[in-house]
Amino acid sequence: MQFAFTNEQRDFRDILRRFLTARSPSTEIRRLMETDQGWERETWKKLNQEMGLAGVHVPEAYGGQGFGCVELSIVLEEMGRALLCAPYFASAVLATTAILNAGTEEQKEALLPDIVTGEVVATLAFAEDNGRWDADGVTMTAEASGGSYRLSGTKSFVLDGHSADLIVVLARQPGTSGDKGLSFFTVAADAKGLSRKALKVMDPTRKLARLSFDKVEAKLLGEAGKAAEPFAKTMTQAVVCLASEMAGGAEKLRETSLEYVKLRMQFGRPIASFQSMKHKHADMLIDVEMAKSTAYYAAAAFDDNAKDLLAVASLAKACCADAYMQTAIHAIQVRGGIGFTWDEDTHLWFKRAKSSEVFLGDPSYHRELMLQHWAA
């Protein structure tokens, strides 16, 4: 198990941090989050041409860089830190991973290179109005008709679902339940019978959509009725990635809060000299460092295919979500009134902390999963 980053990985992080700091200042975050789409196609393509980020974890055969989950998690941590407005999680994490886990060789060769270059933006539609994150929650049906399939039903909480070009959809054979009868499909954004509605979101840096399918023609991805396992693996990797993203956001908030209290003068001295602030910052440091440790461990466990991976992934999700949210609460509090204003940037990360806390399952949900997997 890897407990320290290699020098190459550290260099990669440094370059990435400089790059994202330059590309994603808060003026840029605010400009993009006010748009309906939430990201820009040209910037997204440029990002992938210059840094190849969308293909970090994609094998070279499909145009990627062939690295593992540890490197992917570095990217996520830095993006969470920079609060980059881009379809990275939807396209590079969720959709790409689902295609890698479920697709046939032919499908991977056909789909992945364009996603890696940013030419095609993809997403994964699995959750529905019931708000569940597991296979049991899937009710959308796929009826076989001739050589293709027709999807009917509704998908919700779809990340960048209103702006993606390609939608990977999880649906089931009518009459099945649980892990049985599940299949992945791909649907083009302009398919007939598909209507997409951007949802009004609490966190404007993470756009969600509700997609209604009325007998929409879809192509099977991978094997019919066999999507349960690749879906579970995709969720595990997504959970690990989200943990890293949250750890990065939490650390950014901790650092900016520290800078703030060192500059803010009250009662004739920097408020950083008051024990109430010092003790809070010591606690924030502990929360963030422990969160980082779980995220790093989970990414390494994924690459090692560790026996307790499922427990560890859920542990990291729960730990990082709690740490991010707690750090965000402290970050607003130490700034006092200014922290509650729109013009101050803290709320941007606060909202991301809140949406990430719930996305892919909240901490209680993952703690329960963790205990089940550990006992098993």
* Number of residues this chain uses to bind another protein (CB under 8 A): 38
- Residue partners of 32: CB distance under 8 A and separation at least 6: 38, 39, 40, 85, 205
Indicate the residue among 176 and 333 with the shorter CB distance to another protein: 333
Q: Identify which of residues 163 and 314 has a Cβ nearer to another protein in the complex.
A: 314
DSSP codes of every residue in 114-151: HHHHTSS-EEEE---TT---SGGG---EEEEETTEEEE
Considering the rule CB under 8 A, would residue 124 count as an interface residue with another protein?
no
Number of Cβ within 10 Å of residue 219's Cβ equals: 13
294 interacts with another protein by CB under 8 A? yes
Burial class (CB in 10 A: 0-12, 13-18, 19+), 295: buried
Q: Given candidates 82, 239, 241, 291, which one binds another protein under the rule CB under 8 A? A: 291
Contact region with another protein (CB under 8 A), list: 117-125, 189-197, 237-245, 264-272 = 264-272
Tell whether residue 70 is a contact of another protein (CB under 8 A): no
Single out the segment in contact with another protein by CB under 8 A; choices: 80-88, 173-181, 202-210, 362-370. 362-370
Between CA 230 and CA 244 the distance in angstroms is 21
- The stretch near another protein (CB under 8 A) out of 89-97, 193-201, 313-321, 348-356 is 313-321
Phi, psi of 227 (to 5 degrees): -85, -10
Q: Which of the stretches 17-25, 90-98, 136-144, 275-283 binds another protein when contact is defined by CB under 8 A?
A: 275-283
Residues near 197 by beta carbon (within 8 Å), at least 6 away in sequence = 162, 209, 210, 211, 212
The nearer residue to another protein, 261 or 309, going by C-beta atoms, is 261
Least Å distance, CB 11 to another protein, is 12
Applying CB under 8 A, does 274 fall inside the site for another protein?
yes
Candidate segments 81-89, 136-144, 218-226, 272-280, binder of another protein by CB under 8 A: 272-280
Number of other CB atoms surrounding residue 155 within 10 Å: 28
Stretch touching another protein by CB under 8 A, among 126-134, 179-187, 261-269, 346-354: 261-269
Structure tokens at 221: 């991805």
Give CA–CA dist 194/211, Å, rounded: 7
CA distance 350 to 356: 10
Q: How far is CA 184 from CA 57, 99, 142, in A?
A: 21, 9, 10
The Cα-based distances of 243 to 78, 347, 359, 361 in angstroms read 12, 20, 11, 12
Q: Give the shortest CB-258-to-another protein separation in angstroms.
A: 6
Q: How far is CA 190 from CA 147, 178, 213, in A?
A: 20, 30, 12
Question: How far apart (Å, rounded) are the C-alpha atoms in residues 230 and 103?
Answer: 9
- Among 279, 307, 338, 341, interactor with another protein by CB under 8 A: 279
| 13 is a contact residue toward another protein (CB under 8 A) | no
User: Applying CB under 8 A, does 358 fall inside the site for another protein?
Assistant: no
Q: Is the dihedral of CA 366, 229, 165, 118 positive or negative?
A: positive
Does residue 273 belong to the site contacting another protein (CB under 8 A)?
A: yes
Does 148 engage in binding with another protein (CB under 8 A)? no
Is 269 a binding residue for another protein by CB under 8 A? The answer is: yes
As measured in angstroms, the least distance from the Cβ of 316 to another protein is: 9
Single-letter amino acid, residue 120: V
Taking CB under 8 A as the rule, does residue 81 contact another protein?
Answer: no
Q: Which residues pair with 124 in a beta bridge?
A: 168
Question: Is residue 258 involved in binding another protein (CB under 8 A)?
Answer: yes
Q: Whole-number minimum distance, CB 22 to another protein, in Å? A: 24
What does the binding site for another protein look like in residue numbers (CB under 8 A)? 3-4, 10, 258, 261-262, 269-270, 272-275, 277-279, 281-283, 285-286, 289-294, 296-297, 312, 315, 318-319, 364, 367-368, 370-371, 374
